[in-house]
Amino acid sequence: MTAGFTQVADGVHVLREPLLHVNVTLVVGDGAALLVDTLSTAGQAAELAAAARAVTTHPWTVVNTHHHFDHCFGNATLAADPPRPVYAHEVAAAAMREEADRLRREAYEEMRDEHPALAEELPGTTLLAPTHTVHGETVLDVGGRRVVLRHPGRGHTAGDLVVHVPDADVLVAGDLVEQSGPPAFEESYPLQWPDALAELLRMTTPATVVVPGHGEPVDAAFVRAQHAQLVELAWLIRAGHTGGAPPERVAAEAPFGARPALHAARRGYAELDGTA
């Protein structure tokens, strides 16, 4: 990883990891800092730490937007020695604490064909679970800056957090918003995701910088457009389920492409059947 941080607002910096295009956000206050997400491996996290130290020497608190490997497997490198607070939604924290073997196995299986070198590092990762959990909303003081951690509802996962920095008009959305590719629906709640994005949009202004989970920073207009696609997808899922159509037929008509839409349709049918 050779990327460094780029300032996107006053005291708010974003690093985009070049392999999976994962974003890490660094918020710098007076004598304190906040790191949002920690990347995929100890090696990536060590380079991330060096990049953050090039911006600030302040001690940091860590936030995980959710429990997927590319957003939290660097926790131990960035927050274990010396110990630093790590925040996540209670569902994500439970997954990291109780299901580490599953998360490592699924991460390896996801990466082994497309990124085998990265995949080889994942099974041996020490996964540091969060020390602090969020249910609905938690407000942090980051060196005199008010930073809001909010769970807007189920969407990409059951335990997504967004990070709002009001004084900089920046909103870190995690994988609730995607720019470099379609949303990922494997553990999603596609019928509830539009409501989560609507809640996120209530936190924005026309000038808000929205940091997606992957890709370039976007604005509220981009989020509204993705919200409209998710609304369409949810409608198609409900209509297909009511009409007894197979998920494959829904996916053929849905936005985001056939493969992501098929995952979405299957998850949406599971929601409607009460099994998700």
Three-state secondary-structure class, residue 266: helix
What are the backbone angles phi and psi of residue 129, rounded to the nearest 5°? -75, 155
Cα–Cα distance for residue pair 205/98, rounded to 1 Å: 38
Residue 255: cis peptide before it, omega within 30 degrees of 0: no
Q: What pLDDT score does 239 carry?
A: 97
In the block, residue with structure tokens 């699924």: 106
CB 105 within 8 A of CB 99: no
pLDDT tens per residue, the chain (276 residues)? 557 999 999 999 999 999 999 999 999 999 999 999 999 999 999 999 999 999 999 999 999 999 999 999 999 999 999 999 999 999 999 999 999 999 999 999 999 999 999 999 999 999 999 999 999 999 999 999 999 999 999 999 999 999 999 999 999 999 999 999 999 999 999 999 999 999 999 999 999 999 999 999 999 999 999 999 999 999 999 999 999 999 999 999 999 999 999 999 999 999 999 998
State residue 151's pLDDT score: 98
At 76, phi and psi to the nearest 5? -65, -35
Residue 116, number of CB atoms within 10 A of its CB: 10
Q: So what CATH class is 6-219?
A: alpha beta
Helix (H, G, I), strand (E, B) or coil at 25: strand
State residue 206's pLDDT score: 93
Which pLDDT value is given to residue 2? 56
pTM of the predicted model as reported, rounded to 2 decimal places = 0.96
Q: What's the confidence (pLDDT) of residue 144?
A: 98
Ramachandran category for residue 215: left, alpha or beta (phi over 0 → left; psi -120 to 50 → alpha): left
Amino acid at 242: T
Instruction: Find out whether 72 and 45 touch, Cβ atoms under 8 Å.
Output: no
Rounded CA-CA distance 86/36 in Å is: 10
